[in-house]
Amino acid sequence: MDPTPIPTSDTPRKATTIKDVARRARCSIASVSRVVNDSGPVSGALRLRIAAAVAELEFRPSEVGRSLVLKRSRTIGVLVPSVTNPVFADCLAGLQETARRGGHAVLIAQSNYEAGREVEAIEPLIAERPAGLVLTVCDPASSEARARAAAAGIPTVLLFNEASDPGVALVTVDNRGAGRDLAAALIGRGHRRIAFVAGRFAASDRARARYEGVRDALVAAGLPVEPPVEADFIDGPDRIDLADILDRLRPTAIVASNDLLAIGVVAALRRHGLAVPDDVSVAGFDGIAIGGLIAPSLATIAWPARAMGTTAAAMLLDLVAGRGREPGRTLTLPHLFRPGGTLADAPNTSR
Amino acid sequence: MDPTPIPTSDTPRKATTIKDVARRARCSIASVSRVVNDSGPVSGALRLRIAAAVAELEFRPSEVGRSLVLKRSRTIGVLVPSVTNPVFADCLAGLQETARRGGHAVLIAQSNYEAGREVEAIEPLIAERPAGLVLTVCDPASSEARARAAAAGIPTVLLFNEASDPGVALVTVDNRGAGRDLAAALIGRGHRRIAFVAGRFAASDRARARYEGVRDALVAAGLPVEPPVEADFIDGPDRIDLADILDRLRPTAIVASNDLLAIGVVAALRRHGLAVPDDVSVAGFDGIAIGGLIAPSLATIAWPARAMGTTAAAMLLDLVAGRGREPGRTLTLPHLFRPGGTLADAPNTSR
DNA sequence: CTGTTAGCGCATTCAA
DNA sequence: TTGAATGCGCTAACAG
């Protein structure tokens, strides 16, 4: 009844190999391989003997051996800025699940939002000879990491990045359009002084594109455009300094470059004695789940983060299998403005 | 000035191998191996030639080849219930960073809080012949996944789980003690009717231990003990049904088995028209960063999630390197009660 | 249908 | 100090 007993000490037991199975089934390793991979013909009787041997010996083919001969492993490498940002965690969850169903394991790496760390992060992944890579880089046009992947001839899908050059597989969203939509929602609510706060602006083409979109809308509405405020905020509860922008622009609304940052901005405003949304409205991007649970709920542009992960994995597996549709397919998933309690009409004092 | 140009089409370029380097440096592959791994003696002149060849050819040793001969890869497999729960994302982030510094890549798998899925999740990891595994399982004593890892002779460190049998490497916290501490804080604030809400109670020995701790404190204080309320809540904004427990116990405080759930409980209470903390206090476990940013801030028991990841990775790398201290070392990291706005004195009406 | 064989890229003997 | 040779576990040609 009990499960397999768990040895107390590490028993460096040798794994059973294809040879063990062949010996047990009194046949050649080739036949074992044929049965295990369902490649090539095997008679019913032999097939049965082999299946029995596999079961009795609990044979699990080594992916290492297979990878060596096939020149690539059934592994997908994933590089994201950080796994602690819920939007990337969601991606990763979906990606991993899809990869697993496709018989692939997932290797992870983090750049910590630093372009300079992308290479050292991706190098160990490439060394594992993955079947493919999914990357979210700081700047796709100049990404050394991408260059390395390409030089190694590893099929790659970019995730969340802005379209840079053609001929690239990309799963993304319309960041700039999202910025326009969000700003339009704010302007429609009567806001005239709108600030943009970004974390590591230089390290995120998404943040830059979202800012461009917000700017588009502001310009179109004849409203003042401020340069983005850079917050030194990385997935953590670090203090965000809004003093300067609050003094200078006295914004009635703040757009943060992502939801995590937006929640930090709400907290910072609170520390400044400002009420959200009564004094200042706040909105972000990503649509992370927690934004809908807190009070006031976070107004945001939501995209299907998990589905982006699954889609990227599916696209990559297609590429790997040679079922690559047009090389360099870009898939832009839809976004949706999600109203929230952090967004209200502009206060009268500002009208 | 530009980085390496990025080929538009997938160039299935063959990676340079140790042979290429040897040919270029006019020596044997053995010497190349010696230089690359700094094993064995090589004359200065030859060493120089080889280094030059390595650089010019951009030789990156294949981990696959190395893994095959060494019978294990420089890879660590990690199984967590879900990467979208911030506490595990934090762990994973720390773990990955430490593993990378130790020259190891990280493979991930998720059980989705289902014991039945642990095996299918871990099987692909084992197939990659990892140097070691870090697991957070539903029930360590009966975990089939653990048994598989042990049967394969793969060094394993359990993370966050309760101590089950000796001889196991474990990085964890005092879940039961944490439960006691949290309940004591509530009782000290005058709360007498305290409910416990868990998500997937059966799938988390942590939740069970925390409940035991809460019960310890309630019993010691002579307060009524209710069975835990199971919420069908998995890392998401799913609805939590509190109607029954609110009716039956009319609690002045609710303890959730983790912070993510606690935030969901706060939202559910709000939907019931109850104010937090004025009508009901709420507290959780984990100390996720976002809990400190929202309003009211979340009262919680905090543990160093990221450090647990780094510690687990370090312990595993020690084990792998044979520097395993006593086999079966348990490391219990400290926890700390973190007061928050969700916790107030029990309302007078209930005294 | 089945078996034999030749590597895949690398670390590691063992000789020289 | 160096190199030739072996084999890790597996797939795929090829031969029978």
> Which string of DSSP letters, residue by residue, matches A48-84?
HHHHHHHHHHT----HHHHHHHHTS-SEEEEEES-TT
| Model pLDDT, residue A11 | 53
Mean pLDDT, rounded, for A70-74: 96
For residue range B199-242, list pLDDT tens digits in order.
Answer: 888 889 999 999 999 999 999 999 999 999 988 776 666 678 88
| Model pLDDT, residue B6 | 42
Q: Which two tokens stand for residue A12?
A: 């460096």
- Contact across the interface for B10 and A97, Cβ inside 8 Å: no
Q: Which nucleotide is nearest to A31 (CA to C1')?
A: C2
B13 contacts in chain A (CB < 8 Å)? 151-153
Determine the Cα–Cα distance for residues B83 and A92; give it in Å rounded to an integer: 8
pLDDT bucket at A326, cuts 50 / 70 / 90: low
| Model pLDDT, residue B237 | 60
Question: At residue A35, does pLDDT exceed 70?
Answer: yes
What per-residue string of b and e applies to A212-226 under the rule 16 or more CB within 10 Å gives b? Answer: ebbbbbbeeeebeeb
Q: Report which residue is nearest nucleotide C2 when distances run from CA to C1'.
A: A31
Q: Which two tokens stand for residue B222?
A: 């002579």
Q: Which nucleotide is nearest to B19 (CA to C1')?
A: C9
B92 contacts in chain A (CB < 8 Å)? 83, 108
Distance B67 CA to D8 C1' (A): 9
For testing the chain B interface, which of A234, A263, A278, A294 should be mutated: the one with the most B CBs within 10 Å?
A294
Q: Which two tokens stand for residue B77?
A: 């497999």
| Model pLDDT, residue B322 | 83
Summary mean pLDDT of chain A: 92
Residues 209-268 in A contacting B (C-alpha not used; CB under 8 Å) = 235-237, 260, 263-264, 266-267
Decide: CB of A68 under 7 A of nucleic strand D.
Answer: yes
Using CB atoms, which residue from A65, A123, A289 is nearest to B237?
A289
Question: At residue A6, does pLDDT exceed 80?
Answer: no
Interface A:B, Cβ pairs < 8 A = 229
Determine the Cα–Cα distance for residues B122 and B91; give it in Å rounded to an integer: 18
Please report how many Cα atoms fall inside a 13 Å half-sphere around the Cα of residue A62, on the Cβ side: 24
A96 at B interface, C-beta within 8 A: yes
Any idea which of A6-10, A109-113, A153-157, B287-291 has the lowest mean pLDDT?
Answer: A6-10
For residue range A226-282, list pLDDT tens digits in order.
Answer: 999 988 776 666 678 888 889 888 999 999 999 999 999 999 999 999 999 999 999
Residues 311-350 in A contacting B (C-alpha not used; CB under 8 Å) = 319, 324, 327-328
| Model pLDDT, residue B349 | 53
Query: Which parts of chain B fold into alpha helices (H)?
Result: 18-25, 29-37, 44-57, 63-70, 86-101, 115-127, 144-151, 175-188, 205-220, 243-249, 259-271, 305-320
| Model pLDDT, residue B13 | 67
Decide: CB of A103 under 7 A of nucleic strand D.
Answer: no
Q: Which two tokens stand for residue B276?
A: 């937090």
Question: What are the φ/ψ torsions at residue B106 (nearest 5 degrees)?
Answer: -125, 125
| Model pLDDT, residue B184 | 98
Beta strand B156-159 with B132-135 is: parallel
Question: At residue A167, does pLDDT exceed 90?
Answer: no
Decide: CB of B62 under 7 A of nucleic strand C.
Answer: yes
Which parts of chain B sit beneath pLDDT 70? 1-13, 234-238, 324-327, 349-351
